[in-house]
Every structure is written in C-alpha cells, then in structure tokens.
C-alpha cells in the first residue's frame, strides 16, 4: 500500500528521528549527513562507487538466497532495488560526505537504507516499515561495513579507471600522429635548458607518445591485479563471524558475475581488511602518470614560448585571450591547467599515503579518505587528459624555419664534429663561436679542419639524429 503521510519516524540506538517520507535513506544516513559537512562531495556524485556499492549488495543478496538465508520475496525485492541503482536510479539519495568518521559505516548504511526502502516499495510496503525488510538484517545480511565497503571501493575503482585508460590511449595515439607529422623537422635538443645536440621534432613527440603508452600499459596490467582481490565474506575483521561457511565463496562468485571483473578472494581476509597497500600502489601509479603529463606540459610551454622572443618551435592552438592589459597575448592555458591537476593529484597521493599508514590493528578507519582521494584523482586525471588531447595536442603545428634557424645558430652541433676534429679543437671552435657570434660551420670552414664535403655529410640531418659509423677524413 502507498502511504499518504508526509513524514515517517525511524529509530536507531540513539533515538527516534522524523524523515521526509519522499526520502529513501533512513535515520542513520540522516545523522551522518548532519555530522559531516567536510569535502562538500557526496558519495552519490561518484556514480561508479554507488554502482559498486549496489553490486556488492546484490552479490550478497544472491549468495544469501542461494544458501537459504534470504527468502525469495525479499531476495527479489532487494535484487530489483540493486538493479535500479546500478542502472543509475536514486543516486541523489546517497548523501553522505565522502570524508566521514566510522571507517565507511555511514556509506554502508546509506546504501543499506536506500535499498531497503526501495525494496519495501517493491514488496508493497511503506518506507521505514522495517518489520517486512530490514536494512541491517536483510540488506546487510552476512556482511560488515569492514568487508562490504572496501570491496565496493575496489569494484568502483575498477569501473572508474576504464575511461582513464581510454583517454590515455587516445592521447598516446594523438602524440604518435604528431610525431609522424614532425619527423622531418630538424631542431635542437636541450639539456638543462642549454643547447645539446640536434634531434627531430618527431623524435621529441614520439618520446612523449611512448611515455604515455608505457604508463597506459602499466595501469592496464597492474590495476586489475591490485584491485580484484576483495575481502568480501570476512565481515568485521576478516574472521567471517556471522557469515555462513558457504557464503564467502558464493558471494565472490556472484560479485564477479555481476561486475564482469575477475573478482577473487583475498589470500588472507584478516590482512586484506586492514591493509591499504594496494590503494597506495594505485595512487602512486596515477601520480606517476600525472607527473609525466605535467612534464610534457612543461615542455610544450617551453617549445611554444615567445612566440617571437622565445623558442617558438611549435604553436599551441590559441584557446583564449591571455591578458587583461596586454593586447595580443595568448597564454598556454591548457598545459598550465594540466600542471595544476598534476599538483592536485600529488596532494591527493600524499593524503592517501598518510591515511593508509594510519590504520591500527585489524582495521583502517581512514578508508573514506582513501576512497575519496583515489576516485577524485582518477576522475581529475581522465578529464585533464581529455582536455590536453582535444584542446591542445590535436591542434599543435610546427615552425620548421625557426627550428632550422636555431640549429644553424647553435654551438651544440659542434658535438657532431668531435670524432673528426677532436675534443680540443671542438672546444676551441665552440668558444670562438660563443665569443664572435660566428657559426660553427663558418669557423670550421675557415680553418679547413675537414673538407667541405665531409662537413656537409656530417651535418646532414639524418646523420645527426641517430648513431652512425665514423668515417675519418
């Protein structure tokens, strides 16, 4: 039957509270909502996490039904409620702040209460009438926050990282395309911001592409290995108290089938309940990728600097006017934003690392912060990678004449002459070029240190950007 009342009463250990009867969450969620006004980010804003919470509850309900602990009507009602949440319904009912005390109990009860009240509707009962289906006794059957919540964190991260892999793959392909486009453009390589030896612009961009590809492959292989082992079935501390001996294996089997990931049981449920090492590893991989993309962004800013009074070897696509006072100034805003995302991710990693260390004995109460920082870092990095790819890399063009002019003026090409004129002569020529402003080529020709034919051969672009056998004069 459908209630006509605008409010309902729910009670817990601390007493009775009134709730708007349109709400699906219950009294324990209400208390958590009132207690935690911290990050300003609700768990409902992280769709993959909410979906994962419902997947865990669905798997648990299936397992409890299979072993005869949950009757058919309750199982069907809970399963239907879970399916709706997995499909995107009721996410606005997940209102608890991502940062919360209690090792995730508030999040676990949020999902228990939402699913229970939606399941009650499927049974034709009123919200809050937990005599017919209870958040703890039925939705949370055979579980504790301490196994359901971290298992959901892992499944949610498995879901959340897939768009990041896709965006990194596309970015690597875009950089590789630019590398091919710029292959024939000779330019100066630089070390410590000083002229080094020639290379091609294509080689520079290919190095960027391969760097992104290497991180992509590492993430692709290590994330499933780190996250697929869950402690579901361990209940409070990993001993499995209050769970049927048959439950754990069946719940894992169900979660794997529902999620589509190769979920398996952690080797030691007690260790898995308290240890956060896998999350530290994942955060470190994300930070490493972010730092590499930040370095690439720094390089793009340098290579496009000027454009007339700087290096000016490439042009970044102009995205917005760059100054409120200097007309015509266009800033490299996209790489700058990528830099700032990388710094944010580094901060997230630092906070997560401290939280992972802060666990005591059989549980880490700081798991909510760990979850928040990981989900935030993955989402931030995915958005930043897509921005960098679409708004910057795709539109980069080269300035071949500027690249060539800088090579010709550079003293760095004298390095290519070392095997032919000797280090002492090369050093002397370099010093003279620095002092007089004459080019290395002019000075070598004027002193007739080697023939013009050999000099031209040595300085052919293809001979300066790869290993070659030394042919003496």
- Report the distance separating Cα 246 and Cα 267, nearest Å: 17
Q: Distance between CA 195 and CA 270 in Å, rounded?
A: 57
The verdict on whether 451 is a catalytic residue reads no
Separation between Cα atoms, residue 131 and residue 134, nearest integer Å: 7
Given the DSSP bridges, would you call strands 314-315 and 397-398 parallel, antiparallel or unpaired? antiparallel
- Report the distance separating Cα 141 and Cα 107, nearest Å: 16
Q: Give the angle 433-435-440 at the CA atoms, nearest 5°.
A: 5
The burial class, CB within 10 Å (0-12 / 13-18 / 19+), for 436 is: exposed
d(CA 294, CA 190): 18
* CA dihedral sign of residues 36, 41, 42, 43: negative
CB neighbourhood size of 405 (10 A):
12
d(CA 284, CA 64): 37
SS3 of residue 319 by DSSP:
coil
Query: Which of 6, 169, 283, 323 is labelled catalytic?
Result: 323
* Alpha carbon separation from 246 to 65, 106, 140, 234, 264 (Å, rounded): 12, 28, 16, 12, 15
Residues linked to residue 188 through DSSP beta bridges, in sequence order: 198
Q: Are 269 and 231 in contact (CB under 8 A)?
A: yes
Our CA angle for 418, 421, 427, nearest 5°, is 60
Q: How far apart are alpha carbons 440 and 425 in whole angstroms?
A: 11
Phi, psi of 42 (to 5 degrees): -85, 155
> Measured between alpha carbons, how far is 278 from 257 in angstroms, rounded to an integer?
23
Q: In this structure, what DSSP letter does residue 382 have?
A: H
> Hey, CA dihedral for 260, 262, 268, 274, is it positive or negative?
negative
Query: What residues are labeled active site?
Result: 323
């Amino acid at each position: 039957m459908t209630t006509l009342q605008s409010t309902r009463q729910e009670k817990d250990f601390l007493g009775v509270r009134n709730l708007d009867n349109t709400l699906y969450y219950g009294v324990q969620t209400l208390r958590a909502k009132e207690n935690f006004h911290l990050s300003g980010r609700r768990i409902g804003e992280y769709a993959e996490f909410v979906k994962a919470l419902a997947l865990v509850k669905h798997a648990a309900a299936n397992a409890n039904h299979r072993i005869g602990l949950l009757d058919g009507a309750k199982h069907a009602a809970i399963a239907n409620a879970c399916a709706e949440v997995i499909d995107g319904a009721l996410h606005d009912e997940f209102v608890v702040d991502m940062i919360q005390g209690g090792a995730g109990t508030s999040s676990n009860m949020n999902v228990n209460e939402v699913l229970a009240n939606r399941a009650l509707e499927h049974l034709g009962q009123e919200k809050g009438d937990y005599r017919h289906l209870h958040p703890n006794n039925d939705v949370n059957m055979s579980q504790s926050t301490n196994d359901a919540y971290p298992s959901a964190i892992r499944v949610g991260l498995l879901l959340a990282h897939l768009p990041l892999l896709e965006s990194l793959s596309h970015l690597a392909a875009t950089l590789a395309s630019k590398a091919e486009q710029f292959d024939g453009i000779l330019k100066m390589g630089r070390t410590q911001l000083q002229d080094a030896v020639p290379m091609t612009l294509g080689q520079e961009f290919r190095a960027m592409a391969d760097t992104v590809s290497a991180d992509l492959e590492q993430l692709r292989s290590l994330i499933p290995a780190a996250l697929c082992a869950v402690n579901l079935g361990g209940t409070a501390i990993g001993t499995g108290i209050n769970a049927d001996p048959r439950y754990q294996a069946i719940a894992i089997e169900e979660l794997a089938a529902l999620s589509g990931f190769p979920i398996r049981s952690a080797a030691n449920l007690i260790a898995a309940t308290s240890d956060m090492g896998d999350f530290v590893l994942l955060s470190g991989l994300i930070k490493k990728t972010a730092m590499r993309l930040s370095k690439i962004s720094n390089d793009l800013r340098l290579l496009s600097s000027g454009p007339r009074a700087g290096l000016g070897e490439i042009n970044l696509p102009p995205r917005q006017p760059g100054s409120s006072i200097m007309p015509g100034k266009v800033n490299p805003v996209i790489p700058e934003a990528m830099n700032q995302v990388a710094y944010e991710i580094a901060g997230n990693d630092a906070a997560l690392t401290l939280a992972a260390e802060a666990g005591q004995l059989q549980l880490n109460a700081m798991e909510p912060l760990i979850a928040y920082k990981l989900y935030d870092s993955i989402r931030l990095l995915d958005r930043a990678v897509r921005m960098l790819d679409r708004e910057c890399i795709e539109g980069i063009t080269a300035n071949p004449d500027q690249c060539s002019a800088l090579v010709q003026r550079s003293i760095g090409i004298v390095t290519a002459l070392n095997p032919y004129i000797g280090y002492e002569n090369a050093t002397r020529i370099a010093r003279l070029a620095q002092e007089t402003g004459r080019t290395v080529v002019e000075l070598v020709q004027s002193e007739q240190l080697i023939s013009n034919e050999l000099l031209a051969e040595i300085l052919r672009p293809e001979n300066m950007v790869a290993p070659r056998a030394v042919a003496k004069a």
